[in-house]
Amino acid sequence: MDVQFKLYNTIGQPTWKIEQYQQTVKSQYKQPLHEIQELLYQQGETNTQISISIEIDIKNERVFPPIITIGDGTEEQTMKYQSLKKKIVRLLPE
């Protein structure tokens, strides 16, 4: 599982604020990401490619809804993993 935290609106923001908010967001996602790993193991999907992109707006202290890609991103894969994606979304913080 590939998880990326992407930072936006960092220009003009103090380094301490950037680091502090980034760490706050990462800590909010730590347990849910662990639960997602458990879910994948239970479903036998440990070899399935999953990418989660979490965009963080530093200036406005806002986190956008994660972008989740399962499989190779084709329509066939998207349909195949639709129910798994719904389960993953439920585990992530709002």
Q: Would you give the end-to-end CA distance of the chain in angstroms? A: 20
Q: Read off the tokens for 89.
A: 């979304």
**pTM across the whole model:** 0.86
41-82 confidence digits (pLDDT tens): 999 988 888 999 999 999 999 999 999 998 887 888 888 899
